[in-house]
Structures are given as C-alpha cells and as structure tokens.
Structure 1
C-alpha cells in the first residue's frame, strides 16, 4: 500500500497543482486530505474544484467546519465563503471530521478529539514551535488502536513513532508554510513495506511569488511574506 497525504491547502492552487503533479509521478494508490482546504486569500473555489476530484478520504479542518457553520468567520474565511458555489458547500457539509482508510490508517485534522488542538507541535509562540513532551503526544493517541495516525493543522511536518510502534505523521502544509524557513509546499508519501510504515516527507517547489502576489491583489498583504519566504509564524494571518 502506497499513498499520498496532503493537508492545509488554504486555497493555494499554485502550491496544490505542483503537489498533485508531484504525486502523479510517484504511482500512489490514493491521496488522503486532512482539512483546511479553502480558507486563504488566494483561489478557494479553484482549490475546491481540484480537491473534489480526489478519490481518497477527505476530512474537514477547523476552517472548513467554520465555513459550514457560517459563524465566527474571520476576514479570510469570509473571503473564501463568498467565492464558493452551492456544490462546494455541499461537498464541505458532507465531509467527516475524522476517517479511517483501509482499516489501518486514522485521519484527523488536529487531534483525534479536536480539530483545533495541535498534536505533534505546541502551538506557535512568535516564530517558534516545538514537539510536546512524550506523555502529551501519547495521551492524545490513547484509545485509537491504529498502526498509523495522520494529522495536520500546525503546518509543521513531523513523523513520530510511539513506544508501542504506532506512527503519527503530520505531512506539513501544502499551501502556507509557517516557521519552515522555506516557501516550498509540503506533503507526505507513506508506504507499508514488510509490515512497517515508511514515511517520506516531501518538499515541492512552486511559484510562491505568484501566490504571494495573488494574496496582495486580493487585499491581504500580510500573507505575502509567509508565502514568499516561509519564515513567519501565523500571527496576524487569520
């Protein structure tokens, strides 16, 4: 079994197209999507059109849930909401919060319990984030007896192996790099070999300057620097 995992596109079709093209070169059996697909000042409708064609499980993130609920929308979410069609909204409404793929792979956006809580990273302070302590990471996996568990939300790519050999992977973000020091898109290819899960955290170059220019043209200049450099934290973006 060999599949791709993407997360946190945030409406960035420039990055998404580059990642999907890279995935197509690697003969995967499925592509799994972990949420926060559309909320960004770029091209939410274009991102929805592309992601609706993906056959693998697609779950919602916190921003996707907020778009459906129509409450507590910040300026970025409102930008996305105003550009979605009825078909896009139906797609979001039918999206589950979690999913299981092939009976062995558990998908969530933040943690199994929450789409807003980070799992493999403490939440950002300025430009820094760090792996939480072992007990905290393991506690969130308690009761979820899957050999492989996937999460997104923090935009930071990590692969963690618990002492009982369960693996937790965050593929990083396709559409918005935070504190990575690089604007390149992130995703993961995961393969089971001889009973073991092998994770490749991939980095894909794309036209990030075009994405930054689009954010500025759409009235969101604060997004220009993180899209163009990948050095910034999330403060002031949402």
Structure 2
C-alpha cells in the first residue's frame, strides 16, 4: 500500500496543486495531511477547500490551532507571525475555522500489520519540533508504541531508524526550509510482507505566482523572499 504524507501547506495553493498532481501520477492508495493548512500564505481558504474536496484525512497543525484561537498559543511570536497570524485570522472563513477546530491531533493506521502514528509536531505536543538527531526525538521514539512515527512541523524532510522503530518527517508542501523554493512530501510503501520503503519527493512549482500574490497584498518582504529562497 502506498501512502502519501503531506503537511505544512500554509496557504500556498500553487504548491498544493502541484503536489496533488504528482500524487495522482504516483498511483497513491491513501493521502494523509499532517496539518498547517493555513498561516503565512495568501490562499488559506482555497487550500482548505481543496483538502476537503479531495476528502483527504487531516490532522490539526499548530498554526491551524492558533488561527482558531486567535493567539500565539501554539506558534512563536516573531515579526513575521505578528503580521501573518492576524492576517490569517481575518482571512480564514468562519466555516473553515470550524473545520480546523474539529481536526484530530493524531491519526493511527494499521497497514499490513504495520502500525503508524501520524502527528503534526510530536505525540507530546502539537508544537514540538522533532529533528532526527535531537535528544527529544530519541526520547519520543523510545516511548513510541507504534512501528512508525510520521510527523512534520520542521519543514525539513528526514528519515531515521531508532532500533526497530522508524522516524519520518515529511517536510513542507508550501513553506520549505530546505534552501530551495520546492515543495516536499513523502511516500511510504508498505507491502504484504511488511517491507517498508520511504521516498521523498521534491517538486518545482510556479513559486513566482505566490511571490506576485504576496507582493500585491503587501506582505512583509522577509515573508515574500522566503518563497524564493526556501529559507525561513
């Protein structure tokens, strides 16, 4: 069974459309979204609408939660967020805020006898960063009951084995931090013999369109340039 795990779209409809086209080409059986549909980008309502229309199972990201409650409870209070959060709170429709508020924090699947947990940050916190070589990640993996943890939030794709457990961070569709203006997502293939294959997809998309849109809306230059550089 081939699973596509996407995350951190952040209101970037152009990147999401490109990724979903690629997912269709890859003959994926199940697509799962790990959250952060909104925040930063100029098209949060369009992103939510497309995820809903495709009936993609989705969990709540920390930016989704912050847009719902209207405060910095789950995100950092930075100069960019001081603009992006109020903008998103005003822009996201009430019906879409309700949709975001109802999203679960985790999704669990048993596929061919392999147990997977999908979360945004970590099983401990929606806003905890899990980097593959950090001590907190090792602690999380040691306590993991499932076979595979699939997370996001860092915007950096990574993969590592912890004894008999597997750690996967799927990267970011709409707000990459890989030093390139490309969308990333992950394909997890689990066959009938429980063999697991993990592949990351990195896709070019028309990022100049979102740059133009954000310029027209007078977004901060630091935020606009991040779409061009692929850096925070």
- Give the TM-score, by structure 2 length: 0.88
Structure 2, unaligned runs of 5 or more: 73-80
- Aligned equivalent of 1:88: 96
Does structure 2 conserve the Cα–Cα contact (< 8 Å) formed by 1:12 and 1:175?
A: yes
- Aligned equivalent of 1:192: 190
CA distance in 2, matches of 1:38, 1:111: 19
Alignment deviations for residues 19-75 of structure 1 (CA, whole Å, 9 cap, x no partner) = 001001111111111111111232111111111124343111111111111223732
Q: State the shift of 1:148 in Å.
A: 1.4
Q: State the shift of 1:210 in Å.
A: 1.1
CA distance in 2, matches of 1:108, 1:27: 24
Q: Tell me, what secondary structure is at the counterpart of 2:36? A: coil
The alignment's C-alpha RMSD in Å is 1.6
Q: Tell me, what secondary structure is at the counterpart of 1:65? A: helix
- Give the TM-score, by structure 1 length: 0.86
CA distance in 2, matches of 1:45, 1:56: 15
- Aligned equivalent of 2:209: 210
- Aligned equivalent of 1:109: 120
CA distance in 1, matches of 2:52, 2:174: 17
How many residue pairs match? The answer is 219
Q: Tell me, what secondary structure is at the counterpart of 2:39? A: coil
Does the C-alpha gap of structure 1 residues 149 and 181 become closer, same or farther in structure 2, counting only changes over 3 Å? same
Alignment deviations for residues 64-119 of structure 1 (CA, whole Å, 9 cap, x no partner) = 11111122373212212212223212211110111212362101111110111111
Does structure 2 conserve the Cα–Cα contact (< 8 Å) formed by 1:16 and 1:175?
A: yes
Structure 1, unaligned runs of 5 or more: 122-130
Q: State the shift of 1:9 in Å.
A: 0.3
Does structure 1 conserve the Cα–Cα contact (< 8 Å) formed by 2:60 and 2:104?
A: yes
The more displaced of 52-61 and 36-45 is: 52-61
CA distance in 2, matches of 1:79, 1:50: 20
Alignment deviations for residues 148-175 of structure 1 (CA, whole Å, 9 cap, x no partner) = 11111110000111112x1111111000
Does the C-alpha gap of structure 1 residues 24 and 97 become closer, same or farther in structure 2, counting only changes over 3 Å? same
Structure 1 runs, 4 residues or longer, greater than 4 Å off: none
- Aligned equivalent of 1:29: 29
Q: State the shift of 1:213 in Å.
A: 1.7
- Aligned equivalent of 1:150: 150
The structure that is helix-richer by fraction is 2
The more displaced of 49-58 and 6-15 is: 49-58
Q: State the shift of 1:144 in Å.
A: 2.3
